[in-house]
Amino acid sequence: MRFIRKGVVGVTLAIAAGSAAAQSSVTLYGVADAFIQWFNNGGTQSWSMRSGGNTGSMFGLKGTEDLGGGLKALFTVENGYNLNNGTFLADSSAMFYRQAWVGLTHEKYGTLSLGRQYQPTFWALYPADPFRANEVLSPIAAMATSFDRNTMATATAGGRSSNAIVYKSPQVSGFQLWSMYALAATVTQPYPQSVGNLLDIAGTYSGYGLYVGMAYQFQHPGSKSIPGLPTAVNTVSVQHFTGALAYRIGIVNLQFTYAYHKPQDAAAGSVAARLNAANPFSVAQVGATIQATPADAIEISGFQRLVRGVHDNTWGIQVGEDHALSKRTSLYARAGYMKNNGLATTSWPGLSAVGPGEKQILVGAGVSHRF
């Protein structure tokens, strides 16, 4: 799931489009990010090199064409990759896993776009997460997208949707509205699964040091073919309710997020019902980002994932520090602790808990460069 920072420094090619009224540009941009990780997984220790601990490693192209009268055409295609070994991120069959869309925008009426895109819920949540919903080391990404036996049939949306139609309003007096409808999609990695149609609506407000975001999703059912199970698990329809709040006091930005995932009852006799795998759960996080110096930012997060109706919960803490060497290059460090209780098996994205109820400790340090 990452959640990227706005404002990417790139190399822009300005191309005359044949008349003074029609101007177009294409920008190449990207991030190269790698870190060294030490991981204690229920007492089993390991060292590894991973990619994207601060900002997901990526490269992309984005472009605009001025059509006149305040109307512009625009597009973005964005690849995710693992810098440590050169492979695609998450799905080796998807060239542009992160984003791939085209649209029209008007300064008065907003933006309409089609393709694989970030969900409105993502944009509502992003400013209130100290770790910017990074899909490798953000605790909230781990809590929201992890699943275990008790929630494997409770579908989660994951931050991006394919086959999506998105409308984004202009910002008016600090208010902005987002809406999305995504058609059903099927993927084969990390395991075969299908997701049903998705409705996502969000609203945000930003002003006077305050940020507020609220979002609602309705996810239609699908299925998952999970390794180790003899048959596919049917996922049920789920409503996702998300709230985000941030308030800046001087150098400190206080941040809070909460999400509740409410599934419909699994059909009697279905795999989900027999496994009791469609339980509701919530994810809460309270934290802060402290701009200690112009070059140093400190991130703090306390978080909890709580599955209703069963003994299944995870809580933890994480701290981080970013040190800017320049506008494009930074060093960073992360240290986190998670304690699974009962049947919980939550871990950071890309990692697996050694077993239910185990504690985990992660420490990492790396470098991130934007181009």
Mention every residue, 6+ apart, whose C-beta is less than 8 A from residue 113.
74, 101, 102, 103, 104, 165, 166, 168
Q: How do residues 306-356 score in pLDDT, each as one tens digit? A: 999 999 999 999 999 999 999 999 999 999 999 999 999 999 999 999 999
Please state the φ and ψ torsions of residue 309, each to the nearest 5 degrees.
85, -10
Q: What is the pLDDT of residue 149?
A: 87
- Taking CA atoms, 73 is separated from 22, 80, 107, 310, in Å, by 11, 24, 12, 50
Grade residue 16 by pLDDT with cuts at 50, 70 and 90: very low
Give the span between the Cα atoms of 94 and 171, in whole angstroms.
33
Give the span between the Cα atoms of 237 and 251, in whole angstroms.
42
R_g (Cα) of the chain, nearest Å: 21
Give the span between the Cα atoms of 23 and 14, in whole angstroms.
8
Mention every residue, 6+ apart, whose C-beta is less than 8 A from residue 184.
163, 194, 195, 196, 197, 220, 222
Percent of the chain at pLDDT exceeding 90: 82
Give the span between the Cα atoms of 307 and 346, in whole angstroms.
11
Question: Looking at the predicted structure, is the pLDDT value of residue 15 above 50?
Answer: no
Give the span between the Cα atoms of 126 and 370, in whole angstroms.
19
Identify whether the C-beta of residue 257 lies closer than 8 Å to the C-beta of residue 284: yes
- Taking CA atoms, 134 is separated from 176, 290, 314, in Å, by 23, 18, 19
* CATH class for the domain made up of 11-370: mainly beta
Mean pLDDT of the chain, nearest integer: 92
Cis (ω within 30 of 0) for the bond into 190? yes
Identify whether the C-beta of residue 317 lies closer than 8 Å to the C-beta of residue 301: yes
Q: How do residues 252-268 score in pLDDT, each as one tens digit? A: 999 999 999 999 999 99
Instruction: Kindly state the average pLDDT of the residues 154-179.
Output: 94
Q: What is the pLDDT of residue 23?
A: 87
The residue among 269 and 48 whose pLDDT is bigger is 48
Provide the pairing of β-strand 44-51 with 296-307.
unpaired
Q: Residue 208: exposed, middle, or buried by beta-carbon count in 10 A (0-12, 13-18, 19+)?
A: exposed
Q: How do residues 78-107 score in pLDDT, each as one tens digit? A: 999 999 999 999 888 889 999 999 999 999
Other Cβ atoms within 10 Å of 310 Cβ, number: 16
Cα 136-194-340 angle, rounded to 5 deg: 40
Grade residue 230 by pLDDT with cuts at 50, 70 and 90: confident
Q: What is the pLDDT of residue 22?
A: 59
Please state the φ and ψ torsions of residue 141, each to the nearest 5 degrees.
-65, -40
Query: What DSSP line would sit under 105-153, residue for residue?
Result: EETTTEEEEEEEEE-HHHHHHGGG-TTTT-TTT-HHHHHHH---TTTTT
Q: Where do the domains of the chain lie?
A: 11-370
Give the span between the Cα atoms of 41 and 105, in whole angstroms.
47
Please state the φ and ψ torsions of residue 17, each to the nearest 5 degrees.
-100, 20
Q: What is the pLDDT of residue 71?
A: 97
DSSP 317: E
